[in-house]
Amino acid sequence: MLDLKYVLANFDEVAAKLARRGGSIDLTPIKRLGAERLRLLQESEALRQRQNAANEGMKALAKEGPEAMAGARAELKELSGRIKALQEELGGVEAEIEQALLFIPNLPAETTPDGKTEADNQVVRTWGEKPTLDFTPKTHDELGVSLGILDFDRAAKISGARFVVLRNAGARLERALVSFMLDLHTSRGYQEVLPPYLVNRASMVGTGQLPKFEEDAFKTAEADPQDVRYLIPTAEVPVTNLYREEIQEPGTLPIRNCAFTPSFRREAGSYGRDTKGLIRQHQFHKVELVKIVEPERSYEELEGLTADAEEVLKRLGLHYRVIALCAGDLGFGSAKTYDLEVWLPGQGAYREISSCSNFEDFQARRASIKYRPAPGEKPRLAHTINGSGLAIGRTLVAILEQGQRADGSIAIPEALWPYMGGLKEIR
């Protein structure tokens, strides 16, 4: 969430920054509500000053007898009633402002490239070489079905479209990837956590999924809205919210956590896209990296988190590139994002396997995540950073497509051999 005071004090600048995202983001209601809020605050303050003066005057009137006191009491009662009415009106205006701000995206960082669509994203670096295949490559779903490790038909029977059953070496490979990634990240300074997969509304609001993207969430059906729980779309939600409404004491930042969880998404806006295979599923597994950091170090920590996600691909020997998203392609809460895109020979294209983002204080303001810079100092909002390290299903896709051979078998990356019980290929 943006800071109301900053928005009102720098209205034209904020509007210009939001315009970099493209589309029409109308700040006029916030400006109007901000002016109304200021009017109510000033009027309330003026009445309070009159109230204080009237209270002081009561002391002098006490010597003049009951009749003089009666008039003063009537004035105080009227002032008190007007102040109360103004406070109620102010509360309503502030609730409107907060609701409006919840739908306004984050401001792009200065270092985020200009652009309107993914076509304007910038390649930052590339690692490895594209696999040279002397045969026509197959897609991962063709390979997985022929090897008996991916079963889409039975998944559709029990759950519907955009689900999969992994079997035999496919299931083992998924489990191996989870263990490999967690072992790697914990060896690099992340603390492993295993959070709940159902969260409350406050958690989804805190990280920015609600209220704007409610249609993309799976949730429970409860009579009382307060009892509704949401299936997490990413471990970012519960892990970031571990620190909601907390103040971290000096010396405790940066916090670096990693978590393996399933992720659940309706994919409400993706009908007709990636309907085959594992690229866009309603349920998938992911290892997520989350950092709570001091603002002065947040961009340094973003680079570090991105490098940690890249290290997974390097050790697996998977060719990829790093993309800096342009302002028009940024996610709702992000100020700057790097996408890791892995090469898929079967599709003849690069596909995203991780997004690593700096939210600055956008999530921290929504979730009240603070830290104390030094003993006795006033708490400040922290910065939050997260990224996939990596999406398990898409990593499996990359292994199948980059590791495929002419006879349809798959070479398993050497880094996974210990996790596969020594199995080096899938036939």
Residues 83 and 225: their CA atoms lie apart, in Å, by: 33
pLDDT in tens, 151-160: 999 999 999 9
235 is in an annotated binding site: yes
Report pLDDT for 61.
62
Share of the chain above pLDDT 70, in %: 95
Q: Are strands 255-264 and 283-293 parallel, antiparallel or unpaired?
A: antiparallel
Q: What is the CATH number of domain 118-426?
A: 3.30.930.10
98 is in an annotated binding site: no
Would you state the CATH architecture of domain 4-103?
Orthogonal Bundle (1.10)
245 is in an annotated binding site: no
Close Cβ partners of 269 (under 8 Å, ≥ 6 residues apart): 216
Close Cβ partners of 417 (under 8 Å, ≥ 6 residues apart): 423, 424
Digits of tens for pLDDT over the chain (427 positions)?
A: 999 999 999 999 999 999 999 988 999 999 999 999 999 999 999 988 887 887 777 666 665 656 666 666 777 788 888 889 999 999 999 999 999 999 999 999 999 999 999 999 999 999 999 999 999 999 999 999 999 999 999 999 999 999 999 999 999 999 999 999 999 999 999 999 999 999 999 999 999 999 999 999 999 999 898 899 999 999 999 999 999 999 999 999 999 999 999 999 998 766 667 778 899 999 999 999 999 999 999 999 999 999 999 999 999 999 999 999 999 999 999 999 999 999 999 999 999 999 999 999 999 999 999 999 999 999 999 999 999 999 999 999 999 999 999 999 999 999 999 999 999 999 9
Report pLDDT for 63.
59
Q: Which two tokens stand for residue 160?
A: 């519907």
Strand partners, 287: 260
Supply the pTM of this predicted model.
Answer: 0.92
Residue pair 399/316 in contact (Cβ under 8 Å)? The answer is yes
298 is in an annotated binding site: no
pLDDT in tens, 79-114: 888 889 999 999 999 999 999 999 999 999 999 999
Q: Which two tokens stand for residue 340?
A: 């890791």
Q: Which of 289, 320, 294 is nearest to 306 (CA)?
A: 289
pLDDT in tens, 13-30: 999 999 999 988 999 999
> What are the residue ranges of helices labelled H in 236-297?
236-241
255 is in an annotated binding site: no
Domain ranges of the chain: 4-103, 118-426
142 is in an annotated binding site: no
44 is in an annotated binding site: no
Report pLDDT for 87.
92
Residue 250, preceding peptide bond in cis (omega within 30° of 0):
no
Catalytic residues: 265, 280, 352, 355, 394
pLDDT in tens, 193-207: 999 999 999 999 999
